[in-house]
Amino acid sequence: MNILVTGAAGYIGSIVVQELIKERHSVVALDNLKHGHREAVSPEAPFIQAEIGGAERLGQVFKDNKLEAVAHLAAEVQVEESMSAPEKYFRTNLICGMNLLDTMLRYNVNKLVFSSTAAVYGNPDSIPIEESHPTMPINPYGESKLMFEKVLDWYGYAYGLKFISLRYFNAAGASDRLGEDHDPETHLIPNVLKVALGQCQHVVVFGTDHPTSDGTCIRDYIHVSDIARAHILALKHLERSQANKAYNLGNGRGYSVFEVIETARKVTGISIPVVNRPRRPGDPPVLVASSELAKSELGWEPEYRELETIIDSAWRWQKEHTHGYRE
């Protein structure tokens, strides 16, 4: 298939591009390079620097390329920032996303894999979380992704759009060539590894009074290559059926912030000092996925099951790229 990947220079998007190319798909890679890195985009994919919200330019991209499907990953993704700047999240994740949808339909492209999130669930009342669990986001980031999911439902009904939303839990780890490089870095595992590299003095732990066994938040870490492979399976699924639903992507096992830090100490062999601080706004205490639906319907099976191997892959990449893509 000829696939447009938005957010193609981002952490997950660049690895989706890499996997699609491995599977012999043709890829057009699009990114505004606000957060992404040009160096992260596989050289086999033609690269276009553009905004998903720019109607004219985006229309030209569809006109110039015989696209058959879109993997839409371009987004604003920081939970905490979304609490103080919600407009940025609704504008990019919802309004600009709708421009992409309208452009797709104008050029008769009706297959979409959408990068959604566990943040749509809010504070879950049962663990592991199934897709049928009520969605009640507690931050504008999750809300914007959920609103876009709802737009997809109605576009499916009204215009025959075929889509799959992949609700990622906590993406982590690295491929051989590509890894996580955000500025500022807000995610736990890269921040822990920066301390191991000696680039920061300590890890700040946000909240030790959550209702969990050790008081820190519990998350389900899933390897970024496993997430990328799910996109390929989702695209295959879209070719054979009118899917139009959401699938969770996680390992089904939760680790607390302290457990992540302890595992990182084991992987790196370095003592990693911590400083405890108050809770970060918008953080749900526990998010752990049931991914049974993705397994039974998409045929997805995560290869990286252990937190240790996930952190090990991130550590290898971070040691090789001590300043991310800037070297």
Q: Does 206 bind ligand UFG (CB under 6 A)?
A: yes
Would you say 63 and 19 are in contact if contact means Cβ atoms under 8 Å apart? no
Q: Which residue lies nearer to ligand UFG by CB, 110 or 115?
A: 115
Annotated catalytic residues are 141
221 lies in the site for ligand UFG, by CB under 6 A = no
Instruction: Name the residue among 4, 15, 9, 39 with its Cα closest to residue 223.
Output: 15
Binds ligand UFG by CB under 6 A, chosen from 119, 196, 227, 264 = 119
Number of H helices, E strands in the chain: 11, 14
**Using CB under 6 A, which of 253, 265, 280, 305 touches ligand UFG?**
280
Cα 132 to Cα 119, 128, 201, 290: the distances in Å are 14, 11, 42, 10
Binding of ligand UFG by 169 (CB under 6 A): yes
Judged by CB under 6 A, the residue of 14, 144, 165, 170 near ligand UFG is 170
- Residues 83, 136, 204, 293: which binds ligand UFG (CB under 6 A)? 204
Which of 245/280 has CB closer to ligand UFG?
280
Q: How far apart are the first and last CA of the chain?
A: 33
Region near ligand UFG per CB under 6 A, out of 49-57, 81-89, 183-191, 303-311: 183-191
Residue 195 identity (one-letter amino acid) = V
Query: Cβ 93 to ligand UFG, closest distance in Å?
Result: 11
Asked if 217 interacts with ligand UFG (CB under 6 A), we say yes
CB of 169 to ligand UFG, least distance (A): 5
Residues in Cβ contact with 112 at an 8 Å cutoff, skipping those fewer than 6 apart:
69, 70, 71, 72, 101, 104, 152, 161, 162, 163, 164, 238
Nearest position to ligand UFG, beta carbon? 217
Assign 30 to helix, strand or coil: strand
- Which residue, among 111, 93, 145, has the nearest Cα to 242 in the 3D structure? 111
Our finding on whether 195 is near ligand UFG (CB under 6 A) is no
- Compare residues 203 and 310 and give the one whose CB is closer to ligand UFG: 203
Contact status: 72 vs ligand UFG (CB under 6 A): no
Query: Do the strands 203-206 and 170-172 form a parallel or antiparallel pair, or are they unpaired?
Result: unpaired
Judged by DSSP in three states, 195 sits in helix
User: 96: closest CA among 133, 58, 67, 130?
Assistant: 58
Residues 216, 207: contact at Cβ < 8 Å?
A: yes
Size of the chain, expressed as the number of residues it contains: 327
Task: Kindly tell me which residue out of 26, 175, 186, 309 binds ligand UFG, with binding defined by CB under 6 A.
Answer: 186
Nearer to ligand UFG, 169 or 300 (CB): 169
SS3 content of the chain, % helix, strand, coil (to 5): 40, 20, 40
The minimum distance between CB 179 and ligand UFG, in angstroms, equals 14
Is the Cβ of residue 192 or residue 238 nearer to ligand UFG in the bound state? 192
Size of the site for ligand UFG (CB under 6 A): 21
Interface region with ligand UFG, contact rule CB under 6 A, candidates 63-71, 92-100, 201-209, 234-242: 201-209
* Residue 91 touching ligand UFG (CB under 6 A): no
What are the residues binding ligand UFG (CB under 6 A)?
77, 79, 117-119, 169-170, 186-188, 191, 203-206, 217, 219, 257, 280, 283, 287
